Amino acid sequence: MLTVLKFGGTSVKDAEAFKRTSDIIISTDGKKVVVVSALAGITDDLTNIISALDRQNYERAKETIGSVSLKHKQVIADLDLSNDCDLFLEIKISELKLLIEAVEILGELTGKSKDLILSFGECMSSTMLADILSKNGIKAKQKEAGELIITDSEFTEATVLFDQTNEACSCECKKMFDTNDVIVAGGFIASDVRGRRTTLGRGGSDYSASVIAAAIKADRLEIWTDVDGILTSDPHLVKSARLVTELSYIEASELAFFGAKVLHPKTIRPAINAQIPVVVKNSYNPGGPGTVIVNKAVDCSIIKAIAYRKDVTVINIRSNRMLGAYGFLSKVFEIFKKHETSVDLVTTTEVSISLTIDDETKIYEVKKDLEEFSSVEIFRDKAIISAIGEGIRETAGIAARFFNVLKGINVSMVSVGASEVNLSIVIEQPHLDQAVIGLHEEFFGDLGESDLFRKTGESK
């Protein structure tokens, strides 16, 4: 049995969480690769350091390094980890300080420097986790994630190069498993073909784990987080959200793309390719059933969850008919490609397109180019709500129930994804909470006892 287990930041947020996590690893049979995130909040701190450097506020950057160092020192002391761990922390903190001095002297903050800063959190957490496992008598060793996952050189949002990664992972893990039972790697971090540190984008540790699981042909991928699994909606907004015990790959993948933060959007694809079952579980309730993600949907007559995304911008583009209908659509998408702005939802007629984006960095360049052949309107403060489930393809009446709940709320776009397991709408952000809670009540308010939709907090 070969398992890849991924633990998010909340599963290593303090000494207690580290202990719970190491107990879960120890009680899992067979060989294991463990992928771990930075301690909760640390990547945010590192991002703040980068923002301070961007503003040339070097004092602020140094202060934040001080508090990052203290947070780790505390957990290392609470866990009574080895002197090597303390020493490693000191070395890494000195490296960060040196890097900041270099940025100050050069007056330049590059993507390469950003990734060196961002990767600090996972370098530390993986070293600490390997140390606590060894202390418990487990043959565990930390592995530099950059030797496992190889990417292009798009610093801070790198793309995995699968041929090189598959070879590196299978070769390196095979070697290490000769003498170890557990390999611990930091999530989110990788390196380019020249060995320079890269990162996979925020929340990318889930993706690291699935890339490694696919590369080493693991029997199972477990994503351990701070909620019981994938729920019928975000539990922070919908208090009565239920655990969905089984989802298909496609349902889980659409949920992740449409805002369920519990999984990074890219996580599912490598698992599908390698046909690895994925399980999402709660490290605070390890006895719970979690969500199992497999090939085929268990019930195709219902929706499984409601996801949402905030801070979405809608762009309406109307052709001024300088181009033929086919020329119009392709020209529009060429412009988004040119400015590397990804489009989420699209609805079209022959002469107009409405689409949504959530990264506004290049919006003015996009607008300027579009205005050469069309009129453009931009609307901000929108939100997307998506109902996800294979039932949308198979069952009549779901859309009617969906829109019935939204009576009185202005819906500015409607889209049924090509996968047909996703019905998405765009509304004004201030109506979001009311709409999500209302939709959840409509589809999940009356479940009673159900094996597919379990109450949270239950153990098996």
Between 191 and 233, whose beta carbon lies closer to ligand ADP?
A: 233
The site partner of 230 among ligand ASP, ligand ADP, Mg ion, none (C-beta below 5 to 8 Å per kind) is ligand ADP
Is 391 one of the binding residues for ligand ASP (CB under 6 A)? Answer: no
Between 227 and 427, whose beta carbon lies closer to Mg ion?
A: 227
Number of residues that this document lists for the chain = 460
379: its two tokens = 């609307």
First vs last C-alpha separation in the chain? 22
Is 37 one of the binding residues for ligand ASP (CB under 6 A)? Answer: yes
User: Minimum distance from CB of 234 to ligand ADP (Å)?
Assistant: 4
- Interacting stretch for ligand ADP, rule CB under 6 A, among 82-90, 135-143, 224-232, 295-303? 224-232
Single out the residue of 3, 103, 121, 265 in contact with ligand ASP (rule: CB under 6 A): 121
* Residue among 352, 324, 361, 43 nearest 203 (CA): 43
User: Minimum distance from CB of 54 to ligand ADP (Å)?
Assistant: 25
Single out the residue of 203, 229, 288, 289 in contact with Mg ion (rule: CB under 5 A): 203
In whole angstroms, how large is the CA radius of gyration of the chain? 23
Q: Reading across the β-sheet that carries 31-36, which strands appear in turn? A: 140-143, 182-186, 31-36, 2-7, 220-225, 278-282, 291-294, 246-248
Between 328 and 402, whose beta carbon lies closer to ligand ADP?
A: 402
Is 186 one of the binding residues for ligand ASP (CB under 6 A)? Answer: no
Q: Where are the beta strands (DSSP E) in 269-373?
A: 278-282, 291-294, 305-319, 343-348, 352-357
Residue 190, burial from CB neighbour count under 10 angstroms (0-12, 13-18, 19+): buried
Residues 34 to 93 in contact with ligand ADP, rule: CB under 6 A = 37
Contact status, residue 36 vs residue 186, Cβ threshold 8 Å: yes
* Residue among 263, 168, 260 nearest 214 (CA): 168
The site partner of 305 among ligand ASP, ligand ADP, Mg ion, none (C-beta below 5 to 8 Å per kind) is ligand ADP
Single out the residue of 4, 5, 9, 148 in contact with ligand ASP (rule: CB under 6 A): 9
User: Minimum distance from CB of 266 to ligand ASP (Å)?
Assistant: 11
- Interacting stretch for Mg ion, rule CB under 5 A, among 63-71, 144-152, 201-209, 440-448? 201-209
Is 146 one of the binding residues for ligand ASP (CB under 6 A)? Answer: no
Is 198 one of the binding residues for ligand ASP (CB under 6 A)? Answer: no
Q: Which residue has the tokens 């909606």?
A: 233
Is 261 one of the binding residues for ligand ASP (CB under 6 A)? Answer: no
The site partner of 3 among ligand ADP, Mg ion, ligand ASP, none (C-beta below 5 to 8 Å per kind) is none
Is 358 one of the binding residues for ligand ADP (CB under 6 A)? Answer: no
Q: Reading across the β-sheet that carries 352-357, which strands appear in turn? A: 343-348, 352-357, 305-319, 374-388, 422-428, 411-416
Is 286 one of the binding residues for ligand ADP (CB under 6 A)? Answer: no
Between 36 and 103, whose beta carbon lies closer to ligand ADP?
A: 36
Single out the residue of 69, 165, 198, 205 in contact with ligand ASP (rule: CB under 6 A): 205
Angle at 43 between CA 74 and CA 88, to 5 degrees: 50
Return d(Cα 77, Cα 161) in angstroms, integer: 38
Return d(Cα 15, Cα 242) in angstroms, integer: 29
Between 10 and 166, whose beta carbon lies closer to ligand ADP?
A: 10
Q: Which helix (H) or strand (E) holds 51?
A: helix 42-54
Q: Where are the beta strands (DSSP E) in 163-266?
A: 182-186, 189-192, 197-199, 220-225, 243-244, 246-248
User: Minimum distance from CB of 203 to Mg ion (Å)?
Assistant: 4
- From residue 114 to residue 143, what is the string marking binding to ligand ADP with x (rule CB under 6 A)? ------------------------------
* DSSP bridge pairs for 308: 385
User: Minimum distance from CB of 385 to ligand ASP (Å)?
Assistant: 24
Return d(Cα 105, Cα 48) in angstroms, integer: 20
Contact status, residue 442 vs residue 387, Cβ threshold 8 Å: no
User: Minimum distance from CB of 227 to ligand ADP (Å)?
Assistant: 5
Single out the residue of 203, 270, 288, 289 in contact with ligand ASP (rule: CB under 6 A): 203
Q: Which residues bind ligand ASP (CB under 6 A)?
A: 8-9, 37-38, 43, 121, 187-188, 202-205
Residues that bind ligand ADP (CB under 6 A): 8-10, 37, 203, 225-227, 230-231, 233-236, 260-262, 305
Residues of the shown chain interacting with Mg ion in the complex, contacts defined by CB under 5 A:
8, 203
